[in-house]
Amino acid sequence: MLILEKGSCVWSTPIEIAGLKSTADSGADTVDVTGAKGLARGYSVMTMENGDKAFVRWQATDTSTKEGTVTGDGIWSYTGGTGKLKGLKGKGTLKFSSAPDGTSESQIEGTYSLPETKK
């Protein structure tokens, strides 16, 4: 089965990049599902408090239970940004879980870099 998803979320703990905190995240992905296993690939746009945006590409594998719980892990990378985040690069790992009621939790770790600004 192939699933196409589009969604948005607000982080309970904002992601901070170059002193800017995230306010929202929206994206789209595909999930290729065989039995209880899935392979997801997607893109998201993180909006920061000043309106700048960070662009993210990610992929993950997941496992579903009959009860509707999904858990998984994967990798992500920054592919760029706007404003103060122009030239943003970085990468890391992610772990996530979701419950049958639609609630979910993600743990994201990684590093980033920005081009040096000329003075």
Give residue-wise pLDDT tens across range 15-57.
Answer: 999 999 999 999 999 999 999 999 999 999 999 999 999 999 9
> What does the chain come to in residues?
119
pLDDT tens digits, 73-117:
999 999 999 999 999 999 999 999 999 998 889 899 999 999 987
Is the confidence at residue 119, as pLDDT, over 70? no
Domain boundaries, the chain: 2-113
pLDDT level of residue 3 (50, 70, 90 thresholds): very high
CA distance 119 to 104: 43
Alpha-helical regions (H) of 1-119: none
The conformation of residue 38, written as its DSSP 8-state character, comes to E
pTM: 0.89
